[in-house]
């Protein structure tokens, strides 16, 4: 099966890797230009090299995974069976991307979006085929969950197809009805926002907040380190969707989160967030 991944950032490249390392899948990893797409593949190569260096994988296996990933712009997806869109969290960009894709790909090609909180129903408006949410978690090659989200016009057949694909790449799918933030982000992102608030109130240091939640709640990483991993811009965007869709004050983004995003302190991807990665 040929998978077209739209967007070669953290999620897009992770999704591409998750497919390429499973037998029976080939991947088109795409972005707005060849350079960005190649950059996504380079990220995968770097991660695989680390595994080779640790003796967890041999070089031939790493090369075989990379050989299954072709990079370029979305125009290379002409014979894709499934598109997974992982572009930036902007409704207009996602809708426009699918509109352009429906002119390029076969009529049988299925459309899925990895949006972390936007409405699947709205993304699918005006398209010639239905859209479904196929929501991966960061780091996508490692995290076992996929939220499968049906929008207002998503048929059960498409849900069943995506559930099957998720299982084939070794993931555990859960079925979720459309709602802002779905399940995981509705719980996780307000928790990260609360950790920002605790830090801003001077209750504890960044390190102690994270240690508290790692050792006191058995989380694999603390909420502020997790915010840096996800990207503080992504966390803010999700908080804003939760708030704008519900107008419930419990979802109001903390001013410090917004300030850090405005300052370009987005976490790992910019080298600084709550921690310094330089």
Q: Which helix (H) or strand (E) holds 177?
A: strand 172-177
Stretch near ligand CAA under the rule CB under 6 A, chosen from 171-179, 192-200, 218-226, 248-256: 218-226
The active-site residue out of 13, 114, 119, 185 is: 185
Closest separation between CB of residue 259 and ligand CAA, Å?
20
Which residue's entry shows tokens 């803010």?
A: 236
11 labelled ligand-binding: yes
**Residue 185 appears among annotated catalytic residues:** yes
Q: Which is nearer to ligand CAA, 202 or 220 (CB)?
A: 220
Q: Is 116 a catalytic residue?
A: yes
Asked if 26 is an active-site residue, the reply is no
Minimum gap (Å) between residue 40 Cβ and ligand CAA: 12
Least distance CB 10 / ligand CAA (angstroms): 8
Q: Which of 82, 226 has the CB closer to ligand CAA?
A: 226
- With contacts defined by CB under 6 A, name the span among 60-68, 151-159, 226-234, 264-272 that binds ligand CAA: 226-234
Active site annotation includes 147: yes
Residue 128 is assigned to a ligand binding site: no
Q: Which of 116, 117, 119, 193 is catalytic?
A: 116
The residue within the footprint of ligand CAA, chosen from 47, 72, 174, 204 (CB under 6 A), is: 47
* Cβ-based neighbours of 7, under 8 Å, separated by 6 or more: 30, 31, 85, 86, 87, 88
d(CA 255, CA 32): 32
User: At residue 273, what are phi and psi to the nearest 5 degrees?
Assistant: -155, -120
- Our CB check for ligand CAA shows the closer of 39 and 47 to be 47
- SS3 breakdown of the chain: % helix, strand, coil, rounded to 5? 50, 15, 35
Sequence-distant (6+) residues with CB within 8 A of 166 are 134, 146, 148, 172, 173
CA torsion 73→23→106→102, rounded to 10°?
-50
Nearest approach, Cβ of residue 213 and ligand CAA (Å) = 11
User: Which among 228, 188, 180 is positioned nearest to 206, based on CA atoms?
Assistant: 228
Positions annotated as catalytic residues are: 116, 135, 147, 185
């Amino acid at each position: 099966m040929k998978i077209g991944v739209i967007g070669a950032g953290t999620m897009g490249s992770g999704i591409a890797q998750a497919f390429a390392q499973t037998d029976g899948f080939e991947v088109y990893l795409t972005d707005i230009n060849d350079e960005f797409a190649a950059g996504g593949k380079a990220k995968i190569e770097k991660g695989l090299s680390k595994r080779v260096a640790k003796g967890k994988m041999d070089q031939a296996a790493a090369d075989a995974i990379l050989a299954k990933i072709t990079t370029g712009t979305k125009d290379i997806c002409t014979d894709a069976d499934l598109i997974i869109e992982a572009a930036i969290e902007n409704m207009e960009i996602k809708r426009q991307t699918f509109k352009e894709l429906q002119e390029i790909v076969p009529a049988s090609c299925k459309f899925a979006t990895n949006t972390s909180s936007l409405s699947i129903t709205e993304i699918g408006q005006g398209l010639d085929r239905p859209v479904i949410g196929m929501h991966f978690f960061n780091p996508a090659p490692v995290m076992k969950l996929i939220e499968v989200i049906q929008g207002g016009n998503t048929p059960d057949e498409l849900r069943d197809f995506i559930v099957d694909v998720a299982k084939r790449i070794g993931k555990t799918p859960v079925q979720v009805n459309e709602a802002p933030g779905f399940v995981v982000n509705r719980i996780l992102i307000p928790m990260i926002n609360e950790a920002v608030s605790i830090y801003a109130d001077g209750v504890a240091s960044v390190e102690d907040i994270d240690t508290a939640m790692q050792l006191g709640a058995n989380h694999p990483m603390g909420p502020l380190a997790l915010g840096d991993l996800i990207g503080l811009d992504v966390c803010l965007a999700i908080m804003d969707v939760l708030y704008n869709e519900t107008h419930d004050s419990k979802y109001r983004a903390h001013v410090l989160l917004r300030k850090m995003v405005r300052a370009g302190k987005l976490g790992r991807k910019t080298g600084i967030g709550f921690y310094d990665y330089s």
